[in-house]
Amino acid sequence: MDGDFIPFKREVISKIEHTEGMSTDTYCCLNVDEILQYPELPTGCEVTSLAMALNYHGYLVGKEELFNNYLLYSSEDYPVGFNGECMWPPAIVDMINNFMMDNEDERIGIDKTGTDLLELLKYIDKGIPIIVWVNDTYSSLIEYDGNEFYYEDKFYQSYWGEHCIILKGYDLDNGVVIVNDPLSGELEIDIELFNSVYNACGKYAVIIDLP
């Protein structure tokens, strides 16, 4: 679900400290190529983000190929399929697993919903970008639309302006995370702001890794 996009202003206003398990370096950014969702997939931020993740992991697969061949649909149950506007981590995990099975790859999609941001950054240190849900204006003022779901012991609720991106890096000296946004490309976003948006949107996240 992507509404009218408001370009994000790059700002640097905060810093964070290292946590146990993070790299000793203050900067890490994975080489994830940008893929934009427009004009072909105006409501396809999730599929576009998945295409970026799969390309990083070695698969030259396009967003439209994923949309046409792997997209799962559901008109009522957002966690298990695309409803025409949005979809949630379990559906992305199933898409990843179907794709990996077709390619005889042992890696799988793993739903990391509920994981704190600083824990997610440790995956970047391991060379793993993260598919993350935010909103299209990077605002922590979230308006929920009333749809709530429990799926495999995790809670999901939909909200206006839902948006899916790739979290691929951080710069601790400047207090920013680095993302690939399917609407506007690479952005640097203040860590505290990003953390508040990520938390407000439900801490939805998915990685691709060995089980």
Q: Tokens at residue 167, please?
A: 């979290």
Amino acid making up residue 45: C
CA-closest candidate to residue 187, choices 36, 33, 9: 9
Q: Identify the pLDDT of residue 4.
A: 34
Low-confidence ranges of the chain (pLDDT < 70): 1-24, 76-79
Specify the pLDDT at position 79. 67
CA 121, CA 125: separation in Å to the nearest integer?
7
Q: Which runs of consecutive H residues, i.e. helices, occur in the chain? A: 45-56, 63-69, 89-102, 117-125, 191-200
> What pLDDT is attached to residue 7?
33
pLDDT the model gives residue 78:
63
Largest Cα–Cα separation, the chain: 46
Bridge partners, residue 178, by sequence: 169, 188
How high is the pLDDT of residue 12? 29
